[in-house]
Amino acid sequence: MQLRAGMAVRLDGQICKILEAEFKAGAGQQGGNVKARLQNVSTGRLSEPHFRPDERFEELELQRHTMDFLYRDGDNAIFMNPESYEQAEVPVSIVGPSQAFLTDGMRVTVEFFESRPISVVFPPCIEVKVADTAPPAHSGQDNAWKEAQLENGVKIHVPLFIGPGELVRVDLRTGKYLDRVRGEKKKGT
């Protein structure tokens, strides 16, 4: 079985979620290896081990449920299945750094193993309003950036032309600005 992002495996008795997996070819007589980025679902700890391409793993079958985010309660995020109204508490250590982008009613996929939530799958990008930043400046430089605070409290770097109150698209894997969300065209133009 080949490791791939999104799968869950059991390693040394621990359940781990594969975040990234990349095959690296070896030189000469070396056979290469697979570099993986894993998250231990019990502790939330990240690791980046290397494996031989022929190594075998026990792939775990996950149940996936589309759920709505309700609220945070201490160190947990509470989600609800909109069909059954069942709620699930997911530790923020499992939700990961993207938990800062959770908003009331946001729909995400929660993955379960043996009825226990083990991960939350976010969309690749999200639209968020800029709460505070320096006034927009239109310069000839395309690569100049400034700091901005989003309405959820997260700070990112945005281009100089972005102003407070604008909607921006953020890559949730990296936490970086992607582009400005354009509003509908004004009538009469």
- The predicted-structure confidence for 1-39, as pLDDT tens digits, reads as follows 578 888 888 888 888 888 888 887 766 666 678 888 888
What long-range pairs does 173-178 form, CB within 8 A, spacing at least 24? Answer: 173/124, 175/97, 178/125
Which pLDDT does position 85 carry in this prediction? 93
pLDDT over 70, % of the chain: 90
Tell me what the mean pLDDT of segment 102-128 comes to.
90
Phi-psi region of 75 (alpha: psi -120 to 50; beta: other; left: phi over 0): alpha
Which pLDDT does position 88 carry in this prediction? 93
- The predicted-structure confidence for 125-166, as pLDDT tens digits, reads as follows 999 999 998 888 876 666 788 999 999 888 999 998 889 999
Which residues does residue 170 pair with via DSSP β-bridges, in sequence order? Answer: 126, 177
Instruction: Say which residues have a Cβ less than 8 Å from residue 174's Cβ, sequence separation at least 6.
Output: none
Nearest Cα residue to 137 out of 104, 160, 166, 163: 160
- Domains in the chain and their CATH numbers? 8-60 (2.30.30.30), 63-121 (2.40.50.140), 125-180 (2.40.50.140)
Do residues 124 and 172 make contact, with C-beta atoms less than 8 angstroms apart? yes
Predicted TM-score (pTM) above 0.85: no
Do residues 153 and 134 make contact, with C-beta atoms less than 8 angstroms apart? no
Which pLDDT does position 38 carry in this prediction? 87
In the block, residue with structure tokens 């959820």: 152
